[in-house]
Amino acid sequence: MAPVVAALGACLLLAGASGCGSGEGQLKFDAIEQLPDREAYAEAEIGEFVVPIPPTPGETGSDGDTVTLMQLKFELFVLVAERDHSEVKRLARIHKNKIRDRVIRVCRSTRSDDLREEGFVTLKARLLDEIQPLLGGGMVHRLVIPVIRAEPL
């Protein structure tokens, strides 16, 4: 390992001495030290939801059967930078009713096939689009739903 490090150091020294730099006397490798530290994230709890989903008239599932009434149960969290955690929690309290309305509306307007897909990817994406503006927009990095239970009623 030491010969590799020594060889790399010699190459850097030679490149710097021969004028292959940016003309400012600083190697591009030096800029790596100036990259920002990795940001720390925290989960902010938004709420627990139980949403009954009425069947869509005439809609059939992927197996051709008529879609029946179901219920979604889940806890909703968002991933935010630690520095934004208290602000997002404050916004979640302020907009609690709007968030609840949007979550219910998204769940009920999502196609039944999308409610049965693995990982609920479509539902999560739509939920994020709807609640992110209420929680500070760019402060929300990701939506987290540890478990979604879709139960027939």
Per-residue pLDDT, 108: 92
Name residue 120's beta-bridge partners.
Answer: none
pLDDT tens-place string over residues 66-105: 556 889 999 999 999 999 999 999 999 999 999 999 999 9
Per-residue pLDDT, 91: 96
Place 51 in a pLDDT band, splitting at 50, 70 and 90.
Answer: very high
Cβ pair 121, 85 in contact under 8 A: no
**Going from the N-terminus, what domains does the chain have, and what CATH number goes with each?**
41-58+66-152 (3.30.479)
Which sign, positive or negative, has the C-alpha torsion 126, 127, 128, 134?
Answer: positive
Residue 119, phi-psi category: left (phi > 0), alpha (psi -120 to 50), beta (remainder)? left
Confidence check: pLDDT of 30 > 70: no
pLDDT tens-place string over residues 111-149: 888 888 888 999 999 999 999 999 998 899 999 999 999
Per-residue pLDDT, 83: 94
Non-local CB neighbours of 56 within 8 Å, separated by 6+ positions: 67, 111, 112
Helix or strand (DSSP H, E) at 38: none
